[in-house]
Amino acid sequence: MDDKYSIQVLERAFSVMDTLLQSGEPLSLEAIMTRTGLTKSTAFRIISNLVRHGYLTETDSGYWLGLKMISFGQAVENNLDVRRIAAPYLQALRDQTNETAYLATLTHDWSVLYLDKCESRQPVGVMLHSPGMTIETYCTGLGKTLVAYQPEADVHQWLQNQDMPQRTPNTLTNPESFLAELAAIRQRGYGVDNGERSLSIRCIAVPIRNAQGKVIAALSVAGPTERMPDPLVGSEIAYRALESAEKISAAMGLPALKAHSIHKNGKEVKR
């Protein structure tokens, strides 16, 4: 990246953290100064702020990486792990449905973060999201599905500060409707987006669990409105997405899931 975008205080903070990471052990203030070339006052100010925010901790042996750094590392490892495990199932789901399959998770501020995608071989005609992109939660199948399995108190707190502008006539724009939708998702085991962010695209989204049963990601099948089944609930694509998510969860170490029941053409389908 061009040096014109460099922010000196951030560069110095990164230098401190890199120095500790490379040392493999706690370092004193003097040792950090020597290795980074920072003055005592500058090093102390940077370290004090990093300690205050949990990125560093002070021990009897000096300063060391804090719990927040461990959390970041675990989050990255989990996302890489689920992406690696999910990849073949995502491709198989794309091939079964002939539509685009996505893998996503929630960020710390509850945006949808795309981890991977297998693009449909058909002409799509809509903008496709790429790994690394983030989008809104409240008006997307992936977002609603991921939020549906978060602690109830956290969901209510998030909604207190969440704007829900109307993106299409189908967008859920009030907390009551949104909470009702989350309950429906938990009951049937998957979420849908009926043109709530864009009228031109609809999708089905299913949660993925780790070995402890916690929802850590979700997959979706998305396509142009005219190609997706109507209704989405109880469709063959819903069945395929559920099946793929269960296989990924099992590969993540989750014991065999109880079979879901979905409705297809007005009839209950046992799996």
Q: Which tens digit of pLDDT belongs to each residue from 124-140?
A: 655 567 788 888 899 99
Mean pLDDT, all residues of the chain: 85
**Does residue 105 register a pLDDT over 70?**
yes
Residues 6+ apart with CB under 8 A from 141: 191, 192, 193, 203, 204, 205, 220, 222
**Does residue 1 register a pLDDT over 90?**
no
- Cα separation, 88 vs 248, in Å, equals 9
Q: Using only the alpha carbons of the chain, give its radius of gyration.
A: 22
Domain-ending residue, one of 12, 39, 65: 65
Q: What is the pLDDT of residue 186?
A: 94
Of residues 153, 159, 151, 225, the one with CA closest to residue 192:
225
Residues 26 and 77 in one domain: no
Residues 169 and 57 in one domain: no
Residues 13 and 129 in one domain: no
- For 191-204, the pLDDT digits (tens) are 999 999 999 899 99
Question: How many domains is the chain partitioned into structurally?
Answer: 2
What Å distances lie between residue 220 and 19, 28, 94, 115, 240, CA to CA?
41, 49, 10, 12, 10
Q: What is the pLDDT of residue 129?
A: 78
Residues 148 and 15 in one domain: no
State the pTM of this model.
0.69
Q: What is the pLDDT of residue 271?
A: 41
Residue 1 exposure: Cα atoms within 13 Å on the Cβ side: 5
Residues 192 and 134 in one domain: yes
Residues 160 and 108 in one domain: yes
Helix or strand or coil: residue 184? helix
Residues 55 and 113 in one domain: no
- Pairing mode of beta strands 62-65, 201-209: unpaired
Domain-ending residue, one of 22, 46, 65: 65
Residue 40 exposure: Cα atoms within 13 Å on the Cβ side: 2
Q: Which residue has the higher pLDDT, 268 or 135?
A: 135
Q: Could you give the angle at which helices 29-36 and 8-23 cross, rounded to 10 degrees?
A: 110
Q: What is the DSSP string of 185-226?
A: HHHHT-EEESSSS-TTEEEEEEEEE-TTS-EEEEEEEEEETT
- Cα separation, 218 vs 233, in Å, equals 17
Q: How many C-beta atoms surround the C-beta of residue 200 within 10 A? A: 14
Residue 113 forms beta bridges with which residues?
105, 134
- Per-residue confidence band for 81, with pLDDT thresholds at 50, 70 and 90: confident
**Does residue 263 register a pLDDT over 50?**
no
Of residues 219, 217, 212, 177, the one with CA closest to residue 196:
177
Residues 48 and 169 in one domain: no
Domain-ending residue, one of 12, 41, 65: 65
Residues 77 and 55 in one domain: no
CATH code, 48: 1.10.10.10
**Does residue 12 register a pLDDT over 60?**
yes
Residues 92 and 140 in one domain: yes
For 8, the domain range is 3-65
- Per-residue confidence band for 75, with pLDDT thresholds at 50, 70 and 90: low
Residues 111 and 209 in one domain: yes
| Pair of tokens at residue 155 | 């969901």
CATH code, 266: 3.30.450.40
| Pair of tokens at residue 108 | 């710390």
- Cα separation, 182 vs 165, in Å, equals 18
Residues 203 and 255 in one domain: yes
**Does residue 258 register a pLDDT over 70?**
no
